[in-house]
Structure 1
Amino acid sequence: MCGRASIDKEKIPKQHRFAAKLEGVAFEKNFDARPSQQLPIILPDLDKAIIATWASPEKEPDGKPTLPFNVRQENLLFIARFRSLLPRNRCIIPIDGFFEWKEIEAELDENIVEPAVGLGLDMFGNPIRSRAEKKRLKKAKPQKQKYRFTLKDKEPFGLAGLWRESLLPATGELRRYFTIITTQANAAVMPYHDRMPVILSPEDEAKWMNNRLQEKQWYNLLQPYDAKQMAVMAIDDYESTLGNYVAPQLNSR
């Protein structure tokens, strides 16, 4: 879940709390950000955001990713490599929306006219079906509708995350990676997915960035966001990758 997000620096109001953090940080606006791509993240005690890659390609001895694209809030205190990041490697991922897909039932074509006379039986005694009937009976491939989740006021918001650094063995280059922390879905997201990213209120952002707090205090911030403050809309999957968050059309790509 939450494998897509959007961020457009040009649309961040100058008075917004993220504006100063992102000023002078070079990154392209991204309307369909996904794991393996680079996004800005905000760290404690740094005046400016840094650029990091969403999820690490490195693997643990058991084959699991060292830093996957998301981490369940429930696992933070039980998986050592995540718990070790909590004291000093917390971050905020500034975005203006995230996306989920939901399967929708395919409708049968009611315009197909069935033949008036049956085609009889084959050599095994099974009914011979017309091409039109086969089309109707064939299991339809599940279709998915894309949905965009934002705050009602359309302001950018911050997700709780963890980050880490890693040296590339081949070049010695220092790379930074991040993951998004997820929690149980609130009432706004539940109809579409049972998980959601942890959205931090401005007050909770300050606490999440406070290195003087304790593990329990950070952990207690990782709760579902107030559903009444969120908005969701069905959007055209293709158009949304261009930054056009329009309602889907009948001929949507």
Structure 2
Amino acid sequence: MCGRYTLVARPEEVQALFDALEAHQAPPRYNIAPSQPILIVREDQPGVRRLVLVRWGLIPGWAKDPSKLANLINARSETAIDKPSFRTAMRHKRCLIPASGFYEWQKRKGTRSQPYLIRPSEGDLVAFAGIWEDWTDPDGGVIETAAILTTAANATLSPIHDRMPAVVQPEDFALWLDTRSVDAKTATSILRPAPEDTFEAVAIGSRVNAVGQDDPGIQNPVDPVSSPPADEPAPDSKPDKGQFDLFD
């Protein structure tokens, strides 16, 4: 899964990679957590890409009471097209999610899970495959939300976790975003584990466990714990209300 990630690239870099109409004005984020605003790239009209802030945690358009739903921050790329919560978005509302890396926790025997920063090997931006939805509350207010699609981990990352975000390569951006002429099955065919040299894993300290910690220091490397992997729950991913929040 992907329960935390980071986006610290300059607005101009994001705009250039995605050929977006305008640069975004969101601040650098080192510890983005569920229910917080995330930046997505979508096509509101053919060939026109826009950067938009939405909430992380997809609410299907048909939901009557979102409080009774699980927090849908991830969707398995292998099955999303068939799931009621995701299939409409897979067909009509695909997006790209810019990222400078993500975090994963390796479960360890006899001690706390070891957090890792999974970052692009060349220091570049990457694009996670995503889907978005809009949901209208009883008072007529509209909330836009999104989820990250995941796939099986590649050999580099599988010792840490068995899943990873599905990364869309730049040459496939247009295909993924084109929901008018590219069907969901064809779009899903490009989602596969990233090439082995895409990411590197860096052990980091436990400050990242707290969503209120959002500064460059949480990414400082540490020596990983030496105990072997084991079944142990990863840190909670509940949002911290003191952080930047688009949806108070």
TM-score grouping bracket, smaller chain normalisation: 0.7 to 0.9
Structure 1 stretches of at least 4 aligned residues deviating more than 6 Å after TM superposition: none
Judge conservation of contact 2:203–2:223 (CA < 8 Å) in 1.
no
Paired residue for 1:188?
A: 156
**One-letter code of the match for 1:248?**
V
Paired residue for 2:243?
A: none
Paired residue for 1:168?
A: 137
How far, CA to CA, are the matches of 1:28 and 1:11 in structure 2? 9
**Secondary structure, aligned partner of 2:78:** helix
Judge conservation of contact 1:67–1:178 (CA < 8 Å) in 2.
no
Q: Which stretch has the larger CA shift, 14-23 or 206-215?
A: 14-23
**Secondary structure, aligned partner of 2:86:** helix
Q: 2:127 aligns with which of 158, 161, 166?
A: 158
Judge conservation of contact 1:147–1:233 (CA < 8 Å) in 2.
yes
Paired residue for 2:51?
A: 49
Paired residue for 1:3?
A: 3
| Aligned-residue offset at 1:60 | 6.8
- Distance verdict in 2 for CA 1:219–1:64, change over 3 Å: farther
Q: TM-score, normalised by structure 1?
A: 0.74
| Aligned-residue offset at 1:57 | 6.2
Q: Does 1:33 align with 2:32?
A: yes
Q: Does 1:202 align with 2:201?
A: no
* Runs of 5+ unmatched residues, structure 1: 107-141
1:164-217 C-alpha deviation (Å, 9 max, x unpaired): 0011224x2211000011111111210011111101111122210123222321
| Aligned-residue offset at 1:48 | 2.1
| Aligned-residue offset at 1:152 | 0.9
Judge conservation of contact 1:87–1:215 (CA < 8 Å) in 2.
yes
- Distance verdict in 2 for CA 1:79–1:187, change over 3 Å: same
**Secondary structure, aligned partner of 1:216:** helix
Q: Does 1:65 align with 2:69?
A: yes
Q: Which stretch has the larger CA shift, 74-83 or 216-225?
A: 74-83
Judge conservation of contact 1:13–1:19 (CA < 8 Å) in 2.
no
Q: 2:116 aligns with which of 121, 143, 147?
A: 147
- Distance verdict in 2 for CA 1:164–1:193, change over 3 Å: same
Q: Does 1:218 align with 2:222?
A: no
Paired residue for 2:93?
A: 89
Paired residue for 1:74?
A: 78
How far, CA to CA, are the matches of 1:206 and 1:198 in structure 2? 16
* Runs of 5+ unmatched residues, structure 2: 225-248
Judge conservation of contact 1:5–1:97 (CA < 8 Å) in 2.
yes
Equivalent residue runs for 1:112-131 within 5 Å: none
Judge conservation of contact 1:52–1:177 (CA < 8 Å) in 2.
yes
How far, CA to CA, are the matches of 1:28 and 1:99 in structure 2? 19
> Could you say what the CA RMSD is over the residues aligned between the two structures, in angstroms?
2.8
| Aligned-residue offset at 1:13 | 3.4
How far, CA to CA, are the matches of 2:70 and 2:135 in structure 1? 10
How far, CA to CA, are the matches of 2:193 and 2:57 in structure 1? 22
1:44-101 C-alpha deviation (Å, 9 max, x unpaired): 244321110000467678x973770001112223213312222220000101000001
Q: TM-score, normalised by structure 2?
A: 0.76
Q: 1:248 aligns with which of 222, 233, 237?
A: 222
Q: Does 1:102 align with 2:70?
A: no
- Distance verdict in 2 for CA 1:67–1:234, change over 3 Å: closer
Judge conservation of contact 2:2–2:164 (CA < 8 Å) in 1.
yes
- Higher normalized contact order (CA 8 Å, seq sep 6+, divided by chain length): 2
**One-letter code of the match for 1:2?**
C
How far, CA to CA, are the matches of 2:28 and 2:149 in structure 1? 22
How far, CA to CA, are the matches of 2:64 and 2:14 in structure 1? 42
